[in-house]
Amino acid sequence: MKEPIPSDTTTITGSSSTQQMRFLVIGAGSRGNAYARGVSATTSGIVHAIAEPHAFKRRDFGQKYIWGSSGSPAEGQEFTDWREWVKWELSRRKLVQNPDPNSTQTRIPPGVNGVFICTLDETHVEILQALAPLHLHILCEKPLALSLNDCLTVYRTLQPPSPDSTPQPPKNIFSIGHVLRYSPHNILLRKLLLTNRVIGDVVSLEHCEPVGWWHFSHSYVRGNWRRQTAAGDGSLLTKSCHDIDFILWLLCSPTDAETAARTGQTPHFPRSISSAGSLTQFRRSRKPAAAGNATNCVSCPAERDCAYSAVRIYNERHLAKGHTGWPVDIVCPDIEDVVRVQGRDAAERVLMDRLSEDYDETVQDKTVAERPWYGRCVWEADNEVCDDQVVTISWDEEGPHRMAKTASFHMIAPTEKQCERRGRVYGTTGEIEYDSSRISVYDFATGETTVFDVPKPPPEHQESHGGGDFGLARQFVSAVEAVESGKLDVETAQARFVGCSLEEAVRSHAVVFAAEEARREEKVVKWGSWWDEKLRASAAAWKA
């Protein structure tokens, strides 16, 4: 029998419930930085520690958010990976419970109240399983996991059922990186639809995510998300699972999460899900003849005339104009340091060296799949995920304000706009049109159109998802503070601040997996029976 892991009483003698909330960030990439900025700019909490294998990214992150540009990390603030932190944390907790009377150490380093998991998608499950016994509050970047079985495993790990298989209330705050729920724009849109009911009952919704022509090539042709998962799921999961969640949040979830949690109100579940999509553009058959046998942009004779030239995208559109952030720092994580120490010309040489990296038929597929190839010809890449996909969801009528309705979602790659979502909602008394900056309502009875001012976050908060990153970080920290101070129980704080339970997060992922199954098998998924079957199979496997 394993020795139980002691709970975190890190709080050193004399501390109180008003202690500032401390957080560990695992992964110092773009998502880790986004949430760290959110914590630092909009909450009273602090980023206390970083776990990141890349030395430059780890040091840069620490200087920005933890120990400052002229400081150095204290004990318990810098780790090369999450495993090192877990080992350190277990040792620290043992010292808290059983101090060594012979030790000269007078102060045990503090731990953290919560963790932000901002690593690659395929690592989430292992990290979540390792953190579960520590009973910390967790925010995990989306997607939660790369298969439905793994999502359900995470659910039962973080919120295990009671001996009679009934759900137990959550013991810690959990949040998922569905940032679209937390932008001021979308909060207003939901209020207009569900609280103010400005177009009556919703009849149908159309929502589109224009990924952006070069953004898609960066992430889904050359980058980490270019291949399907083992279950055959691809860009719908990795790019657009929060768009599916956004639609369900508008059309499925109860209007008020806290009231629903208190009264047991259930969501308006869909009736059916279907999908169609394919890889239409980035394939060898579309390669320009002028490119010949070239497989890399740096050596391609047609590079100057190709819109997808990596030289033009990363150097001319970004580095040459002084931009060292995303996407250049994804290609070369230490590019900012190179510019600062050696100058822009040296940085360009480093970038071009990285873009020159290539492979041929002698390189094993496993080796190719293990890393991105940002200079690779988009027509010769090993990508296989959809660049054009439509998902259709339908509902049956279930009483007042739960009418039969439909929703369609379109993820499309070759677009001018980059992730600037847009859509229309059709109702019984009017119609709403929205994009990333405005919401307009047309009223059937009056024939008038009203344009609503969308509350905009300050410029420094708008960097990603219209302020949604900062909104999510703020709500997560607020929930943690409410629980740790004893002001609210976990379930109430989860509903009031996060507005989404772990169960709901898993279910919205399940809709994505259902849509992908429908696309692959060219069928319509009947949600109720499909979901019941998946839950039964997962429960049986868990018991076994």
Per-residue pLDDT of 29-70, as tens digits, reads 999 999 999 999 999 999 999 999 999 999 999 999 999 988
User: Looking at the structure, do residues 252 and 306 belong to the same domain, yes or no?
Assistant: no
Neighbours of 214 (CB within 10 A): 22
- Residues pairing with 431 in the sheet: 426, 442
Residue 343 located in a structural domain: yes
Residue 231 located in a structural domain: yes
Write down the pTM of the prediction.
0.92
User: Looking at the structure, do residues 359 and 248 belong to the same domain, yes or no?
Assistant: no
User: Looking at the structure, do residues 525 and 441 belong to the same domain, yes or no?
Assistant: yes
pLDDT tens readout for residues 90-125:
999 998 888 777 766 668 889 999 999 999 999 999
247: nearest Cα among 434, 496, 471, 520: 434
Residue 458 located in a structural domain: yes
Mean pLDDT of the chain: 91
User: Looking at the structure, do residues 416 and 523 belong to the same domain, yes or no?
Assistant: yes
User: Looking at the structure, do residues 409 and 484 belong to the same domain, yes or no?
Assistant: yes
For residue 376, what is the DSSP state? Answer: B
Q: Which of 317, 345, 369 is a domain's end point?
A: 369
pLDDT value, residue 70: 85
Residue 101 located in a structural domain: no
User: Looking at the structure, do residues 504 and 404 belong to the same domain, yes or no?
Assistant: yes
Instruction: Tell me the DSSP string of 126-187.
Output: HHHHHHGGG--EEEEPSPS-SSHHHHHHHHHHHSPPPTTS-----SS-EEE--GGGGSHHHH
User: Looking at the structure, do residues 411 and 430 belong to the same domain, yes or no?
Assistant: yes
Chain centre distance of CA 309: 28
User: Looking at the structure, do residues 529 and 464 belong to the same domain, yes or no?
Assistant: yes
pLDDT tens readout for residues 188-226:
999 999 999 999 999 999 999 999 999 999 999 999 999
User: Looking at the structure, do residues 470 and 524 belong to the same domain, yes or no?
Assistant: yes
Residue 36 located in a structural domain: no
Side chain identity, residue 258: E
Q: Which of 310, 339, 369 is a domain's end point?
A: 369
pLDDT value, residue 443: 98
User: Looking at the structure, do residues 525 and 400 belong to the same domain, yes or no?
Assistant: yes
**pLDDT at position 533 over 90:** yes
Which helix (H) or strand (E) covers residue 479, if one does?
Answer: helix 468-484
Domain count, the chain: 2
Domain that holds residue 397: 179-281+385-543
Residue 519 located in a structural domain: yes
Residue 136 located in a structural domain: no
pLDDT value, residue 464: 64
Residue 355 located in a structural domain: yes
Which helix (H) or strand (E) covers residue 511, if one does?
Answer: helix 502-521
User: Looking at the structure, do residues 416 and 322 belong to the same domain, yes or no?
Assistant: no
Q: For residue 197, what is the domain's CATH number?
A: 3.30.360.10
Neighbours of 388 (CB within 10 A): 17
pLDDT band at 454 (very low <50, low <70, confident <90, very high): confident
**Cβ neighbourhood burial of 332 (10 Å; 0-12, 13-18, 19+):** buried
User: Encoding tokens for residue 232?
Assistant: 């055959």
**Cβ neighbourhood burial of 479 (10 Å; 0-12, 13-18, 19+):** buried
User: Looking at the structure, do residues 314 and 354 belong to the same domain, yes or no?
Assistant: yes
Which helix (H) or strand (E) covers residue 201, if one does?
Answer: none
